Chain A
Amino acid sequence: MFYRENGQFKTTYRADQQIFPIRQDRVFIALVLILSFVVIPLVATDYFFKAILIPFLILSLAAIGLNILVGYCGQISLGTGAFMAVGAYAAWNIGVRIPEVPLVVQILLGGCFATLVGVIFGIPSLRIRGLYLAVATLAAQFFVDWAFLRIPFFTNYSPSGAVAVPALSIMGFSLQGAMAKYLFVLVFVVVFALLAKNLVRSAIGREWMAIRDMDVAASVIGIRPMYAKLTAFAVSSFIVGVAGALWGYVHLGSWEPLAFDLNRSFQLLFMVIIGGLGSIVGSFFGAAFIVLVPVALNHIPELLGLPLGVDTASHIEHMIFGALIVFFLIAEPHGLAKLWSIGKEKLRIWPFPH
């Protein structure tokens, strides 16, 4: 009875095409935004910001980027970590060599470099698909791993191989506090999520989905597979690169190539699968899930009086993720996002069963 659309008639196409056509959804999103921008900064602890919220937000952003490539355009990628790395290292190099460049511009330029690399490694997608494309993206992952490890130019000849960012500030405001960092990242994520949502519901989004669903038919309509695939790689890599720069700058502070290795790529792919392929909001669900499970595994057994060793917890984590991937692929390929929308469907007719 709360979620009815009664009386909400759309009289213009513009109204029908809004991101949230149902009023209750708009209210819900407004509440979420108020919660995120106002309530949480007032009540959350530093630990909560640093260990949960900030990683969750940045990984959500990366998941949105990956979802565009895998979920909307159907091109599999196992090398996302590499693109995050390019974003992070490129931004850092700019910051070190041309320190006058403002922070936000550094991060965005990092994204641009990631776009370049992404398009290059996306070229094979024009000829190969599926498993074979996965192998090509793995080549990207390993090559980039090596490049940032062994080519001293990229780390500005740092003796330890690790790089670090100086204290962050934006237009004179220091971003050293956890809450400031959180808000900084939150703004990025909200803006990019909006841009991504706009893209996927426009002509380019339909092109991507057409390529995903049936690329021969797509070319018959006049869609150019090359343009669609390369733009998917480009947009995806840009977002992932920005996320990588944020990860290095805001979450880690200092890092080595290991921060962006194959495990990271798998982690992001899992987020996208569990959260829901082809869904922007699903990317958030997936990221939340992946971030929260280890935290839960660390704290819940203690609360129940059955302490788990760190090792065992990590093994159980692997087992849970692995089993869930299989479960979602079998039962609900559209992941948590689909479960969410099924829940909403049920809510629309509540309290009636159907």
Chain B
Amino acid sequence: MNTNTRDDRIGEVILELEHISLAFGGVKALTDISFNVREHEIRAIIGPNGAGKSSMLNVINGVYTPQQGSIRFDGKEFARMSPRRAAEMGVARTFQNLALFKGMSVLDNIMTGRNLRMKSGILAQAFRLGSAEREEIHHREFVENLIDFLEIQAYRKTPVGRLPYGLQKRVDLGRALAMEPRMLLLDEPMAGMNIEEKQDMSRFILDVNDEFGTTIVLIEHDMGVVMDISDRVVVLDYGKKIGDGTPDEVRQNEDVIQAYLGVSH
């Protein structure tokens, strides 16, 4: 529910995308897309299948490099973004197909999210010097708090590959949260979930936004969820932007209705 008190929390523009165009060979994935994201808001990207939503996310965190256009994060323009640079700047993401590390436990998967903050050298780790051990324990504490938050304590030592899909999604979220990101990109976090699981995930997303102030950019198909929790929405269709505004504005947008429902007779 968007109430006035929640609107107050939204800050300045943190991410600015201008005239982004992305093509693979002859296929145009994104054409001239511009929009911005404000700090602390929840921004949804919606659109029919194949509209380019995942590509958009991949551009934001540097997995794909657009042929044209600029990305401005926190006012600084980036000519080339790499996934690592994005991670260092505080952008984390989850994946549609759950890119979890199947061979590791839940705890280890989420611990990898702390990797950027772990500074011990290899020798210190090999000899398990005091400093290395203390660092490991310090980060373990942080991760355990996340595990409590996501209510997956019972599974912390289980290999991730053995968990049911809904729990794997939580681990994916946990790994992204472990990076203490300023901006979190969620790629269809509710995909494949039933109603209860969706409610749980929505609650987590809102909690993250409320408690940690994390800016959220999410791709989602479930319109109910999008309208409920988003502050603003961007609508894509065939790689072009066809709508941008609050959920109510977008819901009444002619182009959006046509794209989703087809031409009305």
Contacts and interface: CB of A to CB of B under 8 A. Distances in A.
Contacts of A278: 103
B84 A202 contact: no
- Determine the interface band of chain B, counting residues with CB < 8 A from chain A: 35 or more
Interface in B37-60: none
B128 to A, nearest CB: 5
Interface in B129-147: 132-133, 136-137, 140-141, 144
A204 B108 CA distance: 12
Given A203-B125, A220-B87, A14 B137 contact: yes
A222 interface: yes
Contacts, number: 99
B87 A222 contact: yes
A348 interface: no
A221 B127 contact: no
A61 to B, nearest CB: 15
A342 to B, nearest CB: 14
Interface stretch (B3-11, B114-122, B202-210): B114-122
Contacts of B95: 217
A338 B179 CA distance: 32
Interface string A201-243: 0111011011011101111111110000001000100000000
Q: Which of A204, A209, A220 has the most B CB atoms < 10 Å from its CB?
A: A220
Contacts of B128: 198, 202
A209 B108 CA distance: 10
A144 to B, nearest CB: 25
Given A219-B84, A221-B115, A221-B116, A206 B175 contact: no
Interface string A183-201: 0000000000001101100
B9 to A, nearest CB: 27
B195 interface: no
A213 B86 CA distance: 21
A13 B137 contact: yes
A17 interface: yes
A308 to B, nearest CB: 40
- Determine the interface band of chain A, counting residues with CB < 8 A from chain B: 20 to 34
Contacts of A222: 83-84, 87-88, 115-116, 179
B63 A223 contact: no
Interface string A102-135: 0000000000000000000000000000000000
Interface in B175-206: 175, 179
Contacts of B21: none
Contacts of A209: 101, 103-104, 108
B27 interface: no
A197 to B, nearest CB: 9
B108 A206 contact: yes
A223 B112 contact: yes
B102 interface: yes
A207 B126 contact: no
B215 interface: no
Interface string A12-28: 01100100000000000
A17 B139 CA distance: 13
Interface in B89-114: 92-93, 95, 99-104, 108, 111-114
A198 to B, nearest CB: 5
B61 interface: yes
A206 B104 CA distance: 8
Contacts of A214: 99-102
Contact of B127 (A195, A206, A223): A195
A221 B113 contact: yes
Nearest to A203: B118
Given A14-B133, A209-B108, 8 more contacts: A196-B126, A203-B125, A204-B125, A209-B101, A209-B103, A212-B103, A217-B99, A221-B112
7 contacts: A198-B125, A198-B126, A203-B136, A209-B108, A222-B116, A222-B179, A224-B84
7 closest Cβ contacts across the A-B interface? A217-B99, A222-B87, A213-B101, A202-B125, A222-B116, A203-B118, A195-B126
